[in-house]
Structure 1
Amino acid sequence: MNRNTILVATMAVATLGTTTQSCLALATSSVGLAVLKQILLGGITKGLNIFSDKDSFLANQLIDAALPQQLKDLNSTLQKLGLNSLVQKEKEYIARAAAFTVETSKPILVNAVNSLTADDAARIIQGGSGAATQILRERTSEQLMAAIAPKVDAKLNEFGLVSSLNSALSGTNLLGGLFGNQNSTSSVTGGLSRFASQQMVNGLFNIIENHEKQNQTAILNSLTSVK
């Protein structure tokens, strides 16, 4: 390697280091942090708007991708028994229940976004695509589950989902087997509600992360335009 090549390589490394430091400085500025919060809040609004509409919830692939394995197994079992209409009813009941979680989920997520700090912004920039949503997920997942699960449970009970499933399965313990060999109706209902709540929480984060990734270029452009 000749002297000129070494000089060029050294300058490139120095430039990269300066660029990285500049991005971090911009990201952790008040304007940069505001841009990151705006992107996350946009994803939250988008997700909760989908949750508010049953048909949008049912049609969303990111929510469908969040379906827990236990509900996949339940639906597969029902389909094998020729109970496709019951599978559709179950999905519609869960979608209807999701709409009742919006007002509970919103303040939890918004408060978490508004609490982001300059240190969080630095971690997000260094973490790359999806890092902002990951921080939000870490800080709110358990709180969201604890807050919405009772609402989901109440709604699924109101809709009579477990009763419909038990009637269709002629009193067998197929539901209990799928949900951990639970025998009592209340245990099965709780299991079903818990898995439905997991789908909602994970589906919502899928939507927020997708929104973040779609706006990754906008984030960088906004940060680099800060003077």
Structure 2
Amino acid sequence: MAKAKQNSLSEEDIDYLRAELTAGRPAAVWFTSAAVGVEAGRSAKVISFTEPAEGDFIQVRPTGDKDELSFSPAELTLEKPAPRRRTPAPAAAVKEETEEPAPVEHIYTPAPPPAKPKPAPAPAAPVAERKPAARKQAKPAEVTVTLVSTVEGEWTVDVQWGSKRTLKASPVAASAVSQAAKLLPPEVDEAVESVIDAARERHLARVEQLRAELAEAQRALDELSG
């Protein structure tokens, strides 16, 4: 009897798996006959989803393994396969009754010469064990880090991880930016230091102006107090 074809993951199934993973409950799936490199009917846990959602974008960990592999929706299913049933052994064949052979007249014939022994056949070469096809690992997403400065010398950082922005306009100390720039190519260090120097000069001029205003205010206060 032909095995029933298992349904691959639908869009609703994928939404359900995403929701379970977000809630901290990795759901179980089973491999279909379309899965390459693994036995159909074997179970696995959904670990993560890669972006964009195309091709082998569902990462799972097969039961009993530590590796994380990527599969497409057609290779997975939420339907747990039914246990295999043992087929009963065939009934022993009933021996047919044979008729008593008729008497045969024995006629003397010379015995044929003994046959030469045939050489034993050479042992067959061992068949190489077929290894499952290697699954391609999930391609790491590109990461883009952007530093932005203002005229006041304030710095912020943005992080773009693949198609997701994981950090947006987060404040960063100018001293930390300066230290990091010194580890990068000279052009980066020069650009960062020029921005920091310009901001330092503006703040220094502002401090001198405030000091002059404070001194003038102090003299006026002294005259009023005298």
The TM-score bracket by the shorter chain reads under 0.3
Larger radius of gyration: 2
So what's the TM-score if we normalise by structure 2?
A: 0.24
More strand by share: 2
Structure showing greater relative contact order (alpha-carbon pairs closer than 8 Å, 6 or more residues apart): 1
So what's the TM-score if we normalise by structure 1?
A: 0.24
More helix by share: 1
